[in-house]
Structure 1
Amino acid sequence: MKIEKPFAVIKDKYISLDQKDSFSIDLCNMDKDHFLVLDTYPIKNPAHPQRHPGWFKFMIDNNKRSLSFRLNFVNGKIQFMSVDKLAIAESWLSNVTYEDNIFPLNIRVVIRKKINNEIVFETTLICYKNLNDYIEHKTYFELPQNIIEEYLPVRLIIPEKLNVCIILKNFYDNDAIGYFAWEMYSLLKKQGINAELYAVNCDDKFRSFTHHVTDLLTDENLSIDKTIFIYNYSIKDDYLEDILDMPYKKIAYFHGITNPQSLRVFDAELAEECKSGLDELYKINGFDFIMVNSRHTKDVYSKNLKKYNESLSILNESQTNDAGGKIKTVNEKVDTDLEKIKIIPPVLISEALWNNTQSDGQFGKSLSAMGDVLLFVGRMFPHKKIEDLLNVFHELLKINPNAILALVGGMHNSYQKYLKYKIDQLTETEKERILFLQQISRNQLKAAYQASKVFITLSDDEGFCVPILEAMRFHVPIVAKKVSTSAADELLKDAGKLAADNDAVSIAEEVNKLMKSNKYREKIVSYQDKRLVEFSDEKLSINFIDSLLGVYYKNENID
């Protein structure tokens, strides 16, 4: 193992108090400079201090590597007892009495530095009040068999006991990469393939069904002949080289990386992570096979490898030893093998999922009653250019005072302040017709698509753009920006309407025409419907699993 920093492996992903009230932790690389904290929050409505039961700090004996703890409630207050007789060095307990209303409970296992309290590692364990609560939660996470059984690629030969380990750095709800990983997991499970999810950071409600990546890196029970990794790459990952060193067949799925320059003003740390991710992109060439989400992303990958090789050549030529002769650098050129790169869209069973999602009719009616809805869906980060949408909407209201702008998705904190500044420049009437819908359910999202007259995205950077595909599925005409750094035009092809510049007036006129002319609207939607045929669940799922099994069987004719 190359992992040098401290980490922990939890032997139980969850516990239920009616079955078991204890759990075990294996600590690795711990030393006198670190300590352990067990922190707790309820998964539902966590808040400090009102819904924060408490935390407990333990100093670890360097000779202790495997520890066990028991969870208990004393007079409604949470308590952790060390089975190994470790003393509690420090603790904090809420004044609120807890017991019944905090389940399921997230137990955070945190390793910190003594010198500055810096978190060097964190993972979680979920505690349920009883086994029935766990089963109910698992049912929510696992797809019912009947949702996708009609899309099963039964013509494929599935090897027995095949293990697929799906790896991603961040597994978050309402995030395109996390959702794609979940679709992969669901599809493979329905094929009879043993699939497991591994993430570094994970939403609490998914952790019972998702391992930490270090659990995978320390697992000695996986069969080399029967295991495949699918590693999702979209940002710098400290565990990439550890994964590369594992002796299993490996597939990298490259989702693209946001241009650091578009983020730097609002989030220098995130921009640096993206830059580092691009700098280390060449490393995924060491995988057996590479999937990408679009032709655009494939070009980004190929250009990055070429740039890396050119930089390496210059470095090699410039370095000399003491005698004046050339020396060999540690790094070597990367061979670009385009035959092992395949475009696999990051959607596999989305049609089936949406067909089995109940629309929130009341939410949709309320939205429609407000006016002609112009919809945006996606994370509101700087590269999404929400300020350009505001400019278009400003012009749209001049010719269609009945228009409503609905912005759906989470928002970046610093960028939110900038957008607030932009919105403050608008009139009160304009402000009243802009809806920020950051926390809505999938049922409400379906209703929002169905209630919309036009879908719009003016993003400068898209590896694929799943919301465009979703808008097509709901027969909403689409307006998108045509720009070399986005795959929006590749996804739409000859469908939808593409804006070649940021002329807010002309874009607003196009949006209004789509809102007011049923004939024009139906024409554009008909083009989109034809394009949508290329993204049927059956076609996408078979393509994905066929490629996966091609790597497993070392099929030379994988394309």
Structure 2
Amino acid sequence: MPPTSQAVHQLVPRLAWGDAVGNQVRYLRELLRGWGYASEIYAEQWDEQCRPLVRPAKDYPREADDRSALLIHHSFESRLVPLIARAPGRKAVVYHNVTPSRLFEGFERKVAEACTAAREELREMRPWVERAWAYSRFSAEELVAAGYDGVSVLPFAVDWRAFDVAPDPVLRAELDDGHANILFVGRAVPSKRVDDVLRVFTAYQRLHQPRSRLIVAGYLNRESPYGAYLYGLKEMLGAERVQFLGRVSAAQLSACFSVATAYLSMSRHEGFGVPLLEAMYRGVPVLAYGAAAVPETMGGAGVASLTHEPLEVARLLAVLERTPALRDEMLRAQRARVARLGQEAVAEAIRERLQPFLEGAPHAARSREQAPTVSLVCPGFVAHPDALESRLARRLARELPGARVLALDPNPQPVELAPRALSVEGLDVRAFTPDEPLPRDAARELPGSSALETALLSSRAPVVFLPEDSLVARETRARLSVASWGVRATIDPEQLEPTLSALIQALRATGALRAT
């Protein structure tokens, strides 16, 4: 056991009471102190309830020394990179994930800009830290893509006791009236896609279960653009018994779960997703769109849908309600999932992952593979190999020495932390986890990929986008620090050869390629 004079502190932009990041920070502090380390929480801002727990972030460089260790929690724009750079001691990142800015565009411009800045900070911090952890394999892949060493997955600690609160009797009596209650818990912000929850519920109520109610429990600002949109959509869809409860107490939340027929989430991005596990713990079947880290969090329990089409998801809700044997099997699987996340087992696993850093042990540096001479970004290369842009990518990869194809992975591997290295017809391919399941319809636009986009923004190789208007291209091209080209998805097949020749000539002119 290390001496208590050895300090392992934490840094977070804002320490909030009751949110997922704040809960993990406070939990880790108790673990660190229990292991014999001096441990404080440093933050720039904090909720009033957190005041006794926090020290000002600006004081850390002065109070730390060369023997100090710092865990930097990153999930939103912090503006703390200069402080991190000048602070003494060893440092590591705990990455909670950053929501892609595109999920806020059209509703919350400032939040979208802050999300973009947060991803830039993730790359800027890398030279100052020696290790990094994420709470999901999905997030860990992005750390690897950003060039971090010593990346691993840190178990997420859930305080199950916090859910053991007696239900509010008044609200429970109001909701327990024989209707099928569909529940969503969380902030009503654009990335959570509460609008899709409304669409699914409307289809469910009209086509399958007229005696149903939708309960949305969580912060909702009716005056915000997204809040106004939700209320307008509610009126337009005309579904009955839709209740936006706003913020609720612990007892009221228990009442919601106690009467819920199913828990429904259509969120487009989760770094973890605690409410999914809370629903499992409380014995409510979970149906969630399988985006980002959601399938990992669910761990094979519940239903992680591959589609967000309202009619299809509503049908799944109906099957779940009308098939008691299926419901019982789901609940058994969910109980098993929760059992694997017991406090003692999680605490021991966290200690095992953190111990090398806490003891100052050097990590095995990640072997640096040879950088590509050019990145051919073809999101559909693996999923749709016969598409025109995939054929062009193959031709370019064969003609350009050292070229690498960057694509979306239709079958992400649950144990891989790095983008999957593939050899397709002898070509060098990296397959990245998409932010959402790939659509079954080849004509639909492919989703983005946080890891792929981060890899591009961290690379020094010139880029060719195939096609030029993919979501990945739209998200990254304007921010690239290297030369880039793109090919239209609607290119005339007869123009393939001239296009190929022009691209090769342009790439050789950059000096990145040697003539062949």
TM-score (norm 2): 0.65
Q: 2:345 aligns with which of 532, 536, 539?
A: 539
Deviation sequence 1:261-299 (CA, Å, 0-9, x none): 111211111111111111231233231221101011112
Q: 1:386 aligns with which of 189, 194, 203?
A: 194
Q: Is 1:472 matched with 2:280?
A: yes
* Alpha-carbon distance in structure 2 between the residues aligned to 1:500 and 1:405: 22
- Report which of the two has the higher share of strand: 1
* Aligned-partner SS, 1:216: helix
Runs of 4+ more than 6 Å apart: none
Deviation sequence 1:476-521 (CA, Å, 0-9, x none): 11111123xx111122232211222222122112212323433221
* Alpha-carbon distance in structure 2 between the residues aligned to 1:208 and 1:493: 36
CA contact (8 A) 1:352 1:537 kept: no
CA displacement at 1:349 relative to structure 2? 4.6
Deviation sequence 1:221-278 (CA, Å, 0-9, x none): x4532x3211110122211221232112222111111111111211111111111111
CA contact (8 A) 1:349 1:541 kept: no
* Alpha-carbon distance in structure 1 between the residues aligned to 2:125 and 2:267: 27
Instruction: Give the equivalent residue in structure 2 for 1:297.
Output: 139
Instruction: Give the equivalent residue in structure 1 for 2:512.
Output: none
* Aligned-partner SS, 2:39: strand
Instruction: Give the equivalent residue in structure 1 for 2:159.
Output: 350
CA contact (8 A) 2:60 2:87 kept: no
CA displacement at 1:390 relative to structure 2? 0.6
Change (3 A) 1:435 1:224: same
Q: Which runs of 5+ in 1 are unaligned?
A: 1-156, 306-334
* Alpha-carbon distance in structure 1 between the residues aligned to 2:217 and 2:85: 37
Q: Is 1:180 matched with 2:19?
A: no
CA contact (8 A) 2:215 2:243 kept: yes
Instruction: Give the equivalent residue in structure 2 for 1:232.
Output: 73
CA contact (8 A) 1:385 1:458 kept: yes
CA contact (8 A) 2:3 2:36 kept: no
* Alpha-carbon distance in structure 1 between the residues aligned to 2:66 and 2:214: 52
* Alpha-carbon distance in structure 1 between the residues aligned to 2:172 and 2:301: 26
Change (3 A) 1:186 1:438: farther
Change (3 A) 1:371 1:162: farther
CA displacement at 1:214 relative to structure 2? 1.3
* Alpha-carbon distance in structure 2 between the residues aligned to 1:557 and 1:243: 21
Matches for 1:6-405 after TM superposition, within 5 Å: 157-219=1-63, 222-225=64-67, 227-285=68-126, 286-303=128-145, 305=146, 336-337=148-149, 340-346=150-156, 348-355=157-164, 357-369=165-177, 371-398=179-206, 399-405=208-214
CA contact (8 A) 1:260 1:274 kept: yes
Instruction: Give the equivalent residue in structure 1 for 2:372.
Output: none
CA contact (8 A) 2:270 2:293 kept: yes
* Alpha-carbon distance in structure 2 between the residues aligned to 1:461 and 1:530: 25
* Alpha-carbon distance in structure 2 between the residues aligned to 1:182 and 1:161: 20
Identity of aligned residues (%): 22
* Alpha-carbon distance in structure 2 between the residues aligned to 1:211 and 1:455: 38
* Alpha-carbon distance in structure 2 between the residues aligned to 1:249 and 1:368: 54
* Aligned-partner SS, 2:353: helix
* Alpha-carbon distance in structure 1 between the residues aligned to 2:144 and 2:37: 32
Q: Superposition RMSD on alpha carbons, in Å?
A: 2.3
* Alpha-carbon distance in structure 2 between the residues aligned to 1:520 and 1:171: 41
Q: Is 1:450 matched with 2:294?
A: no
* Aligned-partner SS, 1:437: strand
Change (3 A) 1:370 1:184: farther
CA displacement at 1:158 relative to structure 2? 4.6
Q: Is 1:488 matched with 2:329?
A: no
CA contact (8 A) 2:143 2:151 kept: no
Deviation sequence 1:322-346 (CA, Å, 0-9, x none): xxxxxxxxxxxxx542xx1111133
Change (3 A) 1:370 1:224: farther
Deviation sequence 1:98-129 (CA, Å, 0-9, x none): xxxxxxxxxxxxxxxxxxxxxxxxxxxxxxxx
Change (3 A) 1:163 1:382: same
Deviation sequence 1:62-84 (CA, Å, 0-9, x none): xxxxxxxxxxxxxxxxxxxxxxx
Count the aligned residue pairs: 361
* Alpha-carbon distance in structure 1 between the residues aligned to 2:178 and 2:72: 44
Instruction: Give the equivalent residue in structure 1 for 2:357.
Output: 551
Instruction: Give the equivalent residue in structure 1 for 2:312.
Output: 506
CA displacement at 1:362 relative to structure 2? 4.4
* Aligned-partner SS, 2:348: helix
* Alpha-carbon distance in structure 2 between the residues aligned to 1:518 and 1:462: 29
CA contact (8 A) 2:29 2:39 kept: yes
CA displacement at 1:385 relative to structure 2? 0.9
* Matched letter for residue 69 of structure 2: I
* Alpha-carbon distance in structure 2 between the residues aligned to 1:525 and 1:244: 48
